[in-house]
Amino acid sequence: MFIELGHFALTLAFAVSLVQMVIPLIGAHKGWSGWMAMAEPAAIAQFLLTGLSFAALTYAFVTSDFSLRIVTANSHTLKPMLYKVSGVWGNHEGSMLLWVLIVTLFGAMAALFGGGLPPSLRARVLAVQSAIGAAFFAFILFTSNPFERLAMPPFDGRDLNPLLQDPGLAFHPPFLYLGYVGLSICFSFAVAALIEGRVDAAWGRWVRPWTLAAWICLTIGIALGSWWAYYELGWGGFWFWDPVENASFMPWLIAAALLHSAIVVEKRESLKSWTILLAIVAFGFSLIGAFITRSGIITSVHAFATDPTRGVFLLLILGVFMGGALTLFAARANAMEAKGVFGLVSRESALVFNNILLAVSAFVVFIGTIWPLVAEMAFDRKLSVGAPFFNMAFTPFMVILGIILPLGAIMPWKRARLGRAVRYLLPAMILAVALGALTWAMQTGRSALGPVGIALGTWLVSGAAMDLWMRAGRGAAGAKLARIARLPRADWGKAVAHSGLGITMIGIAGMMAWQQEDIRVAQIGERFEVGEYGILLDKVERVEGPNYLSTTATVTVWQADEQVATMYPEKRVYPVAAMPTTEAALDNGVLRDVYIAIGDPQDGGGWAIRTYIKPFANWIWAGALIMALGGLLSLSDRRVRVAAGARKERAAAPMPAE
Amino acid sequence: MLKRLILALALTLPLPALAVEPAEMLDDPAQEARAREVSKELRCLVCRNENIDDSNASLAKELRLLVRDRITEGDSNEEVIEYVVDRYGEYVLLKPTVTGSNLLLYIAGPAMLLIGFIVAMVYIRGRSRRTDVAADGLSPEEEARLKEIMGGK
């Protein structure tokens, strides 16, 4: 019964979205305030209806209602509760419902917090957002209905893919979707502004918090996914340049560019048409991501069970929204005249270069991802583009970005002097080069990757610190520190996010350059050395889990004669899904991770064991979280909060005439 | 009863292999290191975007053994890769060759960067030239706006 209610609510939400995408647009065009005003309650109703529908599906998973096709296909009574819930979005239909739920969530939030927007702009934003919602409601209802029943419900389900039964992955999709879909509201703002024909500083101020929120979620989502891949897939690799990973990385890069260019619109009223274009393209990449994951055109580890009609439908959505928005852009872009003027060396120019580097690096990832498809269709060549290509083609962009970032970040608006910026940052520069040189001297006969990563990371972190220090002005150190603590949160956010990037760079370079690996047959009770650690295999046992069987080894890790860790690497078999998995054991540390995986028993006795020492591994995700924290700090800045209140005050009490 | 059934079922399933297994490794550490390096460039044909070094698939194992065979025979890294490509096609290469149409793939990034750079320079020059004008005085619109604020006096 509740299931049918959920299905009905979804259909109703679709109907509401159809109305909401038309009426407010007409209202805004004709200037009819009643027609415009219907957008807000409609947006909230849409969200509540979709929420109800999502709740119904969750209920079906939690109560293991196997009369629903997707519950049978993705759940099992013995599965732990967390994975019953995460099973809702661990499949194509359910994840699309989550997707559309987030589209409506952002619509409702724009309706609730959009009080300061001019009524016509708000009506248009909500109408465009609703059009996106309508497209996905149609997609779900016509091609991927999660509420499909089975005529003959089976006794028990077929279980969720065991690889997906993991706490990191349970929360990875919601964050990722909040990010992906969050960009839809930026898209709506861009299209609404194009229809309106006006982009000004205020528009930049409205769009930035949304972009920031989407970017924060995308950062966390990607970090969770990468962390999951680290301990669950492969051998402690954290990024595989898989098409689906790339699909999430491209919107992240573009959103990062948008974040920065919106600052220029807000503060200097320049780069307007470019910012609009980025807002359109960012969501375009989200749609491309959805297309890549679900069409099966480019196969990958993560792709959901695929179906050509779904692919065609998604391509249609992509075509309509991108085609429409870009046509509108071509027609209206000229109307947006830039106002701010700035010199060749200035914060503005630095942000322009930031944007070029981020946008072109996203382009490189895009070309690499679709190249196998292009080569097959256009040139009849069947080939692969994998990690070695991306590492080579992508890394230089990040290195250049890292080099210019601290310089650009301390430059003043309008006109700066390079010599002065360099002079301010001299201590950071010396520290970075010294640490890089020290690392170079300490390692022998290895690649330049490690030292370059350490130098760049140090440069970014100390450059951010110098930026804060410089902002505190002159005076005694104590007074400066007090002033630093009172700096606006946006300044802190900027410094924290940029340091986070530096920390991630150190992590990536350190892990790739200095990872130690050992593969061998270990006898029980026999100690062997990997790097500075002694590894001892104590015992191997069979253990029964809630819905799997495990071969668990007990391994102790020693440093000289002191035991530093006990680890339990496992091999699991999930009988229902008939799938084996390797659960590596990790001993996390600040400066290194010890990573141990157990393999098969050997004929001559003993077990195959793989051991890695991965230096700085955790810095990769710590850096990403720090980046997200920087974003949050910036989002909580007084300017964002107070400006919202101030607009209301102004509306309530008009200024006396002078 | 049910648990025993599950246990019985589970024991018949294949256990996960460990990708590179101790038995297949070469005795000479230098040669083994080369084999690992070459393996990272080659795609496991039946997997999704995985190199043969990381893959548990049996075909990947065959390829790993083939690579090690060629290395012990005295092939250089390039010769090993050429040997594998001759048999399995360029699909096995994770980094496509820089030939023919693939040139586009390699040029696209740098070309885009160059175009972006040129467009940005033209834009910034345009912006900065205005600085000189603006420094001299207000634009007509700004004059008008100023008059409006000052009450038209």
User: For the domain that residue B25 is a member of, what is the CATH number?
Assistant: 1.10.8.640
Task: Clarify whether residues B7 and B35 are in a common domain.
Answer: yes
Which residues partner with A615 through β-bridges? A592
d(CA A30, CA A37): 13
Distance from CA of B15 to the nearest CA of A (A): 6
Pick from B6, B16, B127: CB nearest A580: B16
d(CA A402, CA A454): 11
Return the pLDDT at A335.
75
To 10 degrees, what angle do helices A167-196 and A119-143 make? 130
Which of B7, B32, B127, B138 to probe the A interface (max A CBs under 10 A)? B127
Contact of B92 with chain A, judged by CB distance below 8 Å, is answered with yes
Return the pLDDT at B13.
45
Task: Clarify whether residues B47 and B107 are in a common domain.
Answer: no
Return the pLDDT at A181.
92
Return the pLDDT at A306.
54
- Does A383 contact B95 at a Cβ distance shorter than 8 Å? no
Which range has the top average pLDDT, A31-35, A352-356, B59-63? A352-356
pLDDT(A446) > 90 = no
Q: Please give the average per-residue pLDDT across A106-119, as a whole number.
A: 90
Return the pLDDT at A566.
95
Q: Please give the average per-residue pLDDT across A362-379, as a whole number.
A: 91
Pick from A520, A600, A602: CB nearest B17: A600
Kindly report the average pLDDT of chain A as a whole number.
88
pLDDT(A644) > 50 = no
Task: Clarify whether residues B55 and B112 are in a common domain.
Answer: no
pLDDT(A497) > 50 = yes
Number of domains, chain B: 2
Residue A535 in tokens = 């590894």
Q: Please give the average per-residue pLDDT across A99-116, as a whole number.
A: 92
Tell me how long chain A is: 658
In angstroms, the Cα distances linking A174 to A72, A180, A506, A603 are 22, 10, 28, 45
Least confident of A155-169, A308-322, A431-445, B47-61: A155-169
More confident residue, B19 or A68: A68
- Does B91 contact A382 at a Cβ distance shorter than 8 Å? yes
Q: Please give the average per-residue pLDDT across A504-512, as a whole number.
A: 94
d(CA B118, CA A364): 18
Which of A232, A380, A392, A573 to probe the B interface (max B CBs under 10 A)? A573
Q: Please give the average per-residue pLDDT across A147-163, as a whole number.
A: 82
pLDDT(A520) > 80 = yes
Cβ A584 vs Cβ A231: under 8 Å? yes
Residue B113 in tokens = 């960067």
Return the pLDDT at A297.
67
Residue showing tokens 């991306």: A390
Task: Clarify whether residues B81 and B133 are in a common domain.
Answer: no
Find the residue in A nearest to B131 (Cα).
A341
d(CA A183, CA A362): 16
Q: What is the CA radius of gyration of chain A?
A: 27
Closest CA to A125 of A28, A31, A212: A28
- Does B91 contact A384 at a Cβ distance shorter than 8 Å? yes
Q: Residue A559 carries which DSSP code?
A: E
d(CA A448, CA A466): 26
User: Does residue B35 form part of some domain?
Assistant: yes
- Chain A hits for B151, CB-CB cut-off 8 Å, are 658
- Does B25 contact A600 at a Cβ distance shorter than 8 Å? no
Return the pLDDT at A114.
82
Pick from B6, B19, B131: CB nearest A341: B131
Which range has the top average pLDDT, A32-36, A85-89, A621-625? A621-625
- Find the domain containing B26 and state its range: 2-92
User: Does residue B8 form part of some domain?
Assistant: yes
pLDDT(A137) > 90 = yes
Contact of B49 with chain A, judged by CB distance below 8 Å, is answered with yes
- Does B125 contact A344 at a Cβ distance shorter than 8 Å? yes
- Chain A hits for B105, CB-CB cut-off 8 Å, are 367-368, 371, 375, 385, 389
Single residue among B62, B92, B122 that ends a domain in this structure: B92
Which range has the top average pLDDT, A201-205, A397-401, A474-478? A397-401
Q: What is the CA radius of gyration of chain B?
A: 31
Pick from A234, A364, A575: CB nearest B54: A234
Sheet-wide strand order for A607-615: A516-522, A607-615, A592-601, A585-587
- Does A389 contact B95 at a Cβ distance shorter than 8 Å? yes
pLDDT(A59) > 70 = yes
pLDDT(A370) > 80 = yes
Q: Please give the average per-residue pLDDT across A121-145, as a whole number.
A: 95
Which residues are CB-neighbours of A474 under 8 A, at least 6 positions away? A480
Task: Clarify whether residues B16 and B87 are in a common domain.
Answer: yes
A365 C-beta neighbours (distance < 10 Å), count: 23
Tens of pLDDT, residue by residue over A465-483, are 999 988 888 778 888 888 8
- Chain B hits for A356, CB-CB cut-off 8 Å, are 113, 116-117, 120
Pick from B16, B41, B54: CB nearest A388: B41
Q: Please give the average per-residue pLDDT across A575-582, as a whole number.
A: 79
Count interface pairs A-B at CB distance under 8 A: 167
Percent pLDDT > 90 in chain A is 56
Return the pLDDT at B132.
47
Task: Clarify whether residues B26 and B81 are in a common domain.
Answer: yes
Q: How many CA atoms lie within 13 A of B36 on its CB side?
A: 16
Contact of B127 with chain A, judged by CB distance below 8 Å, is answered with yes
For B98: left if phi > 0, alpha if psi spans -120 to 50, otherwise beta; the answer is beta
Contact of B3 with chain A, judged by CB distance below 8 Å, is answered with yes
Q: Please give the average per-residue pLDDT across A372-379, as a whole number.
A: 88
d(CA A237, CA A249): 16
Secondary structure of A457-484 as H, E, C letters: HHHHHHHHHHHHHHHCCCCCHHHHHHHH
Return the pLDDT at B112.
95
Contact of B147 with chain A, judged by CB distance below 8 Å, is answered with no
Task: Clarify whether residues B80 and B138 are in a common domain.
Answer: no
d(CA A375, CA B103): 11
Cβ A533 vs Cβ A559: under 8 Å? yes
- Quote the pTM value: 0.90
Distance from CA of A343 to the nearest CA of B (A): 4
pLDDT(A286) > 50 = yes
User: Does residue B97 form part of some domain?
Assistant: no
Amino acid (one-letter) located at A335 = A
d(CA A308, CA A604): 50
d(CA A618, CA A608): 26
Tell me how long chain B is: 153
Distance from CA of B23 to the nearest CA of A (A): 8
Which residues partner with A534 through β-bridges? A529, A558
pLDDT(A207) > 70 = yes
Q: Please give the average per-residue pLDDT across A585-604, as a whole number.
A: 90
Task: Clarify whether residues B58 and B132 are in a common domain.
Answer: no
Return the pLDDT at A656.
40
Contact of B24 with chain A, judged by CB distance below 8 Å, is answered with no
More confident residue, B139 or A137: A137
Task: Clarify whether residues B80 and B111 are in a common domain.
Answer: no
- Does A341 contact B134 at a Cβ distance shorter than 8 Å? yes
- Does A360 contact B9 at a Cβ distance shorter than 8 Å? no
- Chain A hits for B64, CB-CB cut-off 8 Å, are none
> Going residue by residue through chain B (153 aa), what tens digit of pLDDT does each one get?
444 544 444 444 444 456 788 888 888 888 999 999 999 999 988 877 788 988 888 888 889 999 999 999 999 999 999 999 999 989 899 999 998 899 999 999 999 999 999 999 998 888 877 644 444 456 677 777 777 767 644
Cβ A232 vs Cβ A238: under 8 Å? no
To 10 degrees, what angle do helices A387-410 and B102-136 make? 10
Return the pLDDT at B10.
46
- Does B124 contact A349 at a Cβ distance shorter than 8 Å? yes
pLDDT tier at A452 (50, 70, 90 boundaries)? very high
- Does B94 contact A387 at a Cβ distance shorter than 8 Å? yes
Q: Is A551 exposed, middle or buried (0-12, 13-18, 19+ CB in 10 A)?
A: buried
Return the pLDDT at A100.
96
Q: Please give the average per-residue pLDDT across A522-526, as a whole number.
A: 91
Contact of B43 with chain A, judged by CB distance below 8 Å, is answered with yes
Task: Clarify whether residues B46 and B111 are in a common domain.
Answer: no
Task: Clarify whether residues B47 and B116 are in a common domain.
Answer: no
Domain locations along chain A = 516-618
Cβ A494 vs Cβ A634: under 8 Å? yes
- Does A242 contact B13 at a Cβ distance shorter than 8 Å? no
B111 C-beta neighbours (distance < 10 Å), count: 12
Q: Residue B16 carries which DSSP code?
A: P
